[in-house]
Amino acid sequence: MSNDIAIIGAGMHPWGKWGHNFVEYGVAAAREALADAGIPWRDVGFVSGGATVRCGYPGYVAGATFAQALGWQGCEVNTSYAACASGSQALAAARNKILAGACDVALVIGADTTPKGFLAPAGGYRPEDPDWVRFYLGITNPTYFALYARRRMDLYGDTLEDFAAVKVKNSLIGSKNPRARYRKCFTAEDVAASAMVADPLRLMDICATSDGGAALIICSADYARRIGKADAPRIAAISTVTPSFASAVVEMPDIATDSAAAAGIEAHSFRAALPVKAYEEAGIGPEDVDVAEVYDLSTALELDWIEDLQLAPRGEAAQLLRRGDTAVGGRIPVNPSGGLACFGEAVPAQALAQVCELTWQLRGECGDRQVAGARVGITANQGLFGHGSSVIIKR
Amino acid sequence: MNEKPQAPAIEGWFTMDDKPRLIGTQCCACGTYFFPKQQRYCKNPDCDSTDFREVQLSRTGRVWSYTNACYKPPAPFVAAEPFEPYTIAAVTLEEEQMTVLGQVVTGVNVSDLKVGMAMELVLEPLHETDDDIKMTWKWRPLAEQGEQH
């Protein structure tokens, strides 16, 4: 498709708990992406930032903050906030700007500095705030992940050993990723020995929060050709659809699902809907996918995503896992970066980090982590308040 | 053992009788149920009603999934000292076609539950204040339990 937008540069600041200002991570990622693209900063006509809500005003206007840090040069800026999908929404804004002919080259950045400890809601008596209600009643974030995991066990026969195997798989491949925060190879015994948090999920089944920054340089097909990068990976689709009423899965921070009692209303799964639009837009199907980066907030959730992406029939993801299909070297490798298990979540950077990994995979530059012959990659993530995304890139 | 009066942890969200029910609303135009109450606009994309009636939701439903809390949640949760893990269930109400989260009554563990089990709504203490015992809804396995889905 002549409308395809090229990804000519990718960069990441390593994930960790560094405690520095988020701008520093974003600038480091942007400079790496610019160097990777081999273009000057002054060529960038649009900076599209993923907002962070944890770092004060500069985080709310992240696009401008990064543009100023890199040196004002008169480009236009945008900031997107869409929870875990912020990076994808910033990417979509940049793609649309280029497709509209308003600029040739855009820089997309997300970075975050995460606080230590629990994120808790404001105090007082505030029953109108669903986040306050669920904490008051004793429902924390792991509760939701554990409900999804337990349902897999009862409906599909998934086991604790399956969930541990996801962690073992991701930690093995992530140990070879210099940008990952956790690079230790964990065994099933390590997982089983970690503390139970929300049955059936143990501490090592659940991802941490991290500092990190990721950036992409994207451009028109013309520009890519002019600088000799006509064969760069292309963005084939970006899906940022909302859920469809009635959402049948209880989602953080809600205490109840939608009701599907009205005539003409059916129950829907949000996660499953996200890639549907991406596949339609890309004009491909799940059988064309070579590699996937999915949002493994928990080990069990990676298995849900595999089915939501239609890489396995509903209920059969664990069979793929057990056969080694989802490991690098298998039929359909999932999370060759090591996933959130090895990175921890840096919200506004994470969706972009997924695309960075696929970019390097499709360029064949991942060394020990390389998925052989990868030509089509898909990402998937979901966050709060009806935000989620799925991006397809191809080469 | 305790003479303090009982009070709802969240005012107006459930009845305080022997057979407690959650209090929600229902759209008068399309019939969609809401819990917590929704009274200003209908979230059904095919409905623009602003007319709602207060309704008591079904007392029983089936387990959609379940888990527990092994660690003390942060405030505003008020934890007993020492902290006692508790079980949690998401229960689907058939009539309302809606799934509602809640703690499970004390003494019922994850190993006692299964997806599809019939549950009923009861009240139990959530925490105490100087003045009263704050009660909340909890799910309890229905006594006459068969193998059913």
In a domain, A251, yes or no: no
Number of H helices, E strands in chain A: 14, 11
Contact at CB, A256 and B99, closer than 8 angstroms: yes
Q: How far apart are CA A135 and CA A152, in angstroms?
A: 25
Cβ neighbours of B97 in A, within 8 Å: 246, 259-261, 267
Dihedral sign (CA A350, A352, A353, A354) = positive
**pLDDT range class, residue A122, cuts 50, 70, 90:** confident
Mean pLDDT of B96-118: 98
CATH code, domain with B86: 2.40.50
**pLDDT range class, residue B147, cuts 50, 70, 90:** very low
Best mutation target among B26, B28, B44 (most A Cβ atoms within 10 Å) is: B44
pLDDT tens for A17-41 read 999 999 999 999 999 999 999 999 9
Angle at A326 between CA A324 and CA A328, to 5 degrees: 85
Best mutation target among A125, A128, A150, A266 (most B Cβ atoms within 10 Å) is: A150
In a domain, B13, yes or no: no
Cβ neighbours of B31 in A, within 8 Å: 261-263
- Quote the percentage of chain B above a pLDDT of 90: 92
- B127 to chain A, any CB pair closer than 8 A? The answer is no
**pLDDT range class, residue A1, cuts 50, 70, 90:** very low
In this complex, how many residue pairs, one in chain A and one in chain B, have their CB atoms less than 8 Å apart?
Answer: 148
Q: Where are the alpha helices (DSSP H) in chain A?
A: 22-37, 57-60, 62-70, 86-99, 130-136, 141-156, 160-174, 188-193, 221-226, 270-282, 299-308, 317-323, 339-343, 347-362
Mean pLDDT of A233-259: 96
Mean pLDDT of B47-64: 98
CATH code, domain with A38: 3.40.47.10
Best mutation target among B99, B114, B129, B149 (most A Cβ atoms within 10 Å) is: B99
| pLDDT for residue A379 is more than 90 | yes
Residue B1 has a pLDDT of 55
Mean pLDDT of A73-92: 97
| pLDDT for residue A79 is more than 90 | yes
- Round the average pLDDT of chain A to a whole number and report it: 96
In a domain, A331, yes or no: no
What domain range is A34 assigned to? 5-117+210-226
Q: How far apart are CA B117 and CA B89, in angstroms?
A: 11
Of B47, B67, B100, the CB nearest to A198: B67
Parallel, antiparallel, or unpaired for β B52-56 and B23-27?
Answer: antiparallel
In a domain, B131, yes or no: yes
Looking at the DSSP bridge assignments, the partners of residue A389 are: A381
pLDDT tens for A44-66 read 999 999 999 889 999 999 999 99
ipTM: 0.95
Q: How many independent structural domains does chain A possess?
A: 1
What domain range is B92 assigned to? 58-141
Least confident of A50-59, A230-239, A292-301, B57-66: A50-59
Q: How far apart are CA A305 and CA A298, in angstroms?
A: 11
pLDDT tens for A150-191 read 999 999 999 999 999 999 999 999 999 999 999 999 999 999
| pLDDT for residue A219 is more than 90 | yes
Residue B121 to chain A, least CA–CA distance (Å): 14
In a domain, A104, yes or no: yes
User: 3-state DSSP call for residue B133?
Assistant: strand
In a domain, B101, yes or no: yes
| pLDDT for residue B113 is more than 80 | yes
Residue B45 has a pLDDT of 97
Q: How far apart are CA A107 and CA B33, in angstroms?
A: 45
**pLDDT range class, residue B148, cuts 50, 70, 90:** very low
pLDDT tens for A277-320 read 999 999 999 999 999 999 999 999 999 999 999 999 999 999 99
Contact at CB, B95 and A261, closer than 8 angstroms: yes
Q: How many independent structural domains does chain B possess?
A: 1
- Quote the percentage of chain A above a pLDDT of 90: 94
Cβ neighbours of A127 in B, within 8 Å: 10-11, 13, 36
| pLDDT for residue A2 is more than 90 | no
Residue A54 has a pLDDT of 87
CB half-sphere exposure, A238, CA atoms < 13 A:
21
